[in-house]
Chains A and B, each alone.
Chain A
């Protein structure tokens, strides 16, 4: 096993890209990452994507994008794990380089969601859940998370407005991220007045549908400096799973795959939650943020929500999260999200985060969740030197 470093990053603005197709979005991110890394060739391209077949009528993205960016001939394949596709692809790239079989690997996460009407996109996102036993009952992806939020509020005596700190923090951080979809702070009033989607989840609890692509270039750590003086080392990488359906989980309020994947990554890195300087978590809904903080060891069960209430998740807090806006305000182009998280963590560790910089950031963690918690991929990154 070899150590693996990230030598290049690229991202497109997250939003509604009416003028750009899926291949152009992916191409922009890949070419930016290759320029940043100073590489012209690669041994493989892994594409994280969830819905290209459903929303764009296009599968077989590996070959499509490799050819489009001038890498015709290389190994290329799509990796799918619902909203966790992006980080799942990063993990495949990590395994390939760590194994010694490949040297330079590019990973791109891409999703083009705004070409279809809302109901089509909503129905497609529900495919992350169990078609035969969840979705057929009229269950949307939002409503599965609403079932978790309702039970959480009931079991721990939490009010809905106690969650407001999550979207408020996300929007505040996105305001100074030029790649974010919503660059505008929101108030407690905005949160309380937001339109209900699936009670108790309202629009301000929910991350938006968006287009976007992000990419990283991976290489063995011992040669990383030759390409990139500011390379960042992957010191932990793990993927864990749980039952696909919420009703099949042993305890729906505990994201056991998130806990397992965080524990595996901590063990590999030789660190614990107290050593993590910031955490790019998967705030698809505000309840997901609270459950992630608990599963990854930053809060006791039932207490994750209070980190948002007490300001501990802000840039200057004990455990900053969503430092560039998170899924809620940077935007959530599902299969791209996991790669955006890694790109943002690299910016923090290179100390290139501008107004979003977490002071003295040395170790960052990213966690990307597929579906309502069935696939969870955690990465721990460290600044070199």
Chain B
């Protein structure tokens, strides 16, 4: 993707900013301006918490060009707590340990390098939720 195309998406890539429908309350990610549930306008920004669980996953044994460094890497459909599914890589996890239902949280990581200039594209990945430290 071209530099402006990546730059425009910074609020989605770094902060998981979506939209909420003022008519039916549906939370939307990615933002899309028309609610797919009720077809009414949905321009109100909404901040997702970045927490969810693995709805499905795969492990790519054959990387897409530009992603060879991560091969083999797990990719998941993550079901966010607020409702939507998000497609993302999983990180900080052994592919063998990934399972459906696994709690995950968003982190910002390098996705790939693009073009002859080696533009680094950052964005969201998801990692297993760390177990909370026991108090006292």
Contacts and interface: CB of A to CB of B under 8 A. Distances in A.
Interface of A: 119-120, 122-123, 126, 131-140, 142-144, 146-148, 150-151, 154, 195-201, 243, 245-248, 252
Given A137-B88, A138-B89, A195-B61, 8 more contacts: A123-B65, A140-B62, A140-B64, A144-B87, A147-B58, A150-B57, A151-B100, A198-B62
Q: Which 5 pairs between the two chains have the least Cβ-Cβ distance?
A: A146-B58, A151-B56, A138-B67, A247-B85, A119-B65
Contacts of B58: 143, 146-147, 150, 198-201
A150 B85 CA distance: 15
B34 interface: no
Contact of B64 (A126, A201, A246, A252): A126
Contacts of A150: 56-58, 100
Contact of A123 (B64, B123, B125): B64
Contacts of B25: none
A136 B111 contact: yes
Given A137-B89, A154-B56, A246 B77 contact: yes
B56 A136 contact: no
B38 interface: no
Given A119-B65, A122-B65, A151 B55 contact: yes
Contacts of A143: 58, 60, 75
Contact of A122 (B64, B84, B86): B64
Most buried by A among B1, B12, B70, B75: B75
B91 to A, nearest CB: 11
B41 interface: no
A123 B68 CA distance: 13
Nearest to A141: B64
Contacts of B47: none
B58 to A, nearest CB: 4
A147 B1 contact: no
Interface string B102-132: 0000000001100000000101010000000
Contacts of B87: 133-134, 137, 139, 144, 147, 245-247
A198 B9 CA distance: 27
Given A137-B75, A147-B77, A243 B36 contact: yes
B36 A199 contact: no
Most buried by A among B5, B60, B76: B60
A138 B57 contact: no
B128 to A, nearest CB: 17
A147 B75 contact: yes
Chain B interface size band reads 35 or more
A367 B57 CA distance: 27
Contact of A147 (B30, B57, B61, B65): B57
B73 interface: yes
Contacts of A144: 87
Contacts of A135: 64
A138 B60 contact: yes
A143 B62 CA distance: 9
B5 A132 contact: yes
Contacts of A243: 36
A198 B59 contact: yes
Contacts of B67: 138
B63 interface: yes
Given A122-B65, A198-B61, A199-B61, A138 B55 contact: no
25 contacts: A123-B66, A126-B64, A136-B121, A137-B88, A137-B89, A137-B123, A138-B66, A138-B89, A139-B87, A143-B60, A147-B76, A150-B100, A151-B55, A151-B77, A151-B100, A197-B61, A198-B58, A199-B58, A199-B61, A200-B58, A245-B87, A247-B77, A252-B55, A252-B56, A252-B85
Given A132-B30, A252-B77, A140 B60 contact: yes
A139 B57 CA distance: 11
A241 B58 CA distance: 25
A136 B112 contact: yes
Contacts of B56: 147-148, 150-151, 154, 252
Contacts of A198: 58-62
Nearest to A150: B56
A138 B77 contact: no
A143 B121 CA distance: 21
Interface string B8-49: 010010000000000000000010000010000000000000
